[in-house]
Amino acid sequence: MKLSLLLLSAVYTATATATTTTTAKAATHVIYSYPGPSPPANLLSLISSGKVGGLILFGENIDANLPTTIANIQKTYASSPDYNGTPLLIMTDQEGGKVRRLPGGPTLSAKQVGLSSDPASTAAETGTEAADTLAKYGVNANLAPVLGVYRSPGDFLDEYGRSYGNTSELVASCAEAFIRNQQARKVIATAKHFPGLGAAGADANTDLVPVTINLGLGELRRVDEAPYSAAIAAGVDMVMASWAVYPALDKKPAGLSEKWIQGELRQRHGFKGVTITDAIEAGALGAYGDDAARGVLAAQAGMDLILASARNVTQGEAIVDALTKALENGEVDTEEFGAGTARIMALRRTLHV
């Protein structure tokens, strides 16, 4: 009887340990968000137990105490049982112009950079400014630059000055300069939104509604994807996928499409870095279940980081739980997911602790 109990206890302990390990691995892939300037207690508890991959910051999270807040978050994570000497990813959108979460540079928008007398040089300066601003607060990853090649004045990217210009050559040269200068200062750059939102109309915002971009594959590759080739050659650390649908290659949104992520981005372009989704709660994904289900679909497509940006800690928890179950029941390939974990950890090892 005692032997049977001991065996049952050993099996239970091994199963619990395996589940915990799987949960920790799943959590490495999820970027959390939270409301207000102070991280809530439940988020800090998750961080202290090593169950968070990183954080994304928005305007409501920013106050004068942010550097101290981030330092304390990293200190809390360093005390977790799963700490491995690398910092959490702390990211925000600091594109320049109207899209800046943190006070400080770059003050110029991408459009203003593209219209300057020396766009590449100006883009390099803005990359430096972005890195300096983020580093001052302890933010180590920037969800910028935007690589969209806009088509018409006033369209989705041009309306807010988020595109460097309407030629792939101009966008590529500016993006490359921005990326090199920012990453030289140990702040991660992110090329977004692959394969490009330059042809999206004025009201085509994937945060709110489904968006379809009906361009031929030849034009997409020749115009929209060309800046990504330059960004990858420049060593960009991360690529964010678009939630738009590009029927020329797949009927699924790009960030849920293995054809776009594994086929086009990794195999055709040779990208070996970290992929990250756009906001998983985006309106464009209304037909793809709840946020947890979408996280699993993104992982199946080959996305490394899942962006849970609804400012709700339970959103991230639900995605971690769903990924854990999907890994345990075989819905998500453990080998491919593990390769993503390795990419994430390799990137984190390049950052200052």
Residue 20: band (very low, low, confident or very high) from pLDDT cuts 50, 70, 90 = low
Predicted confidence at residue 82, as pLDDT, reads: 83
Q: Which tokens belong to 174?
A: 């500016």
Average pLDDT, integer, range 105-109: 98
Q: Using the predicted structure, report yes or no on whether residue 168 has a pLDDT greater than 90.
A: yes
Q: pTM score, two decimals?
A: 0.94
Cα Rg of the chain (Å, integer): 20
Length, in residues, of the chain: 353
Q: Which tokens belong to 115?
A: 């219209």
Q: Using the predicted structure, report yes or no on whether residue 323 has a pLDDT greater than 60.
A: yes
Predicted confidence at residue 353, as pLDDT, reads: 59
Query: Which residues sit opposite 96 in a β-bridge?
Result: 99
Nearest Cα neighbor of 158 from 114, 100, 101 is 114
> Tell me: the pLDDT tens digits for 92-101?
999 999 999 9
What is the percent of the chain with per-residue pLDDT over 90, rounded to a whole number? Answer: 93
The secondary structure of residue 248, as a DSSP letter, is T
Decide which of 109 and 21 is more confident: 109
Nearest Cα neighbor of 245 from 283, 202, 213 is 213
Q: Using the predicted structure, report yes or no on whether residue 268 has a pLDDT greater than 70.
A: yes
Mind listing the domains of the chain with CATH numbers? 30-78+85-348 (3.20.20.300)
> Tell me: the pLDDT tens digits for 180-238?
999 999 999 999 999 999 999 999 999 999 999 999 999 999 999 999 999 999 999 99
Predicted confidence at residue 261, as pLDDT, reads: 99
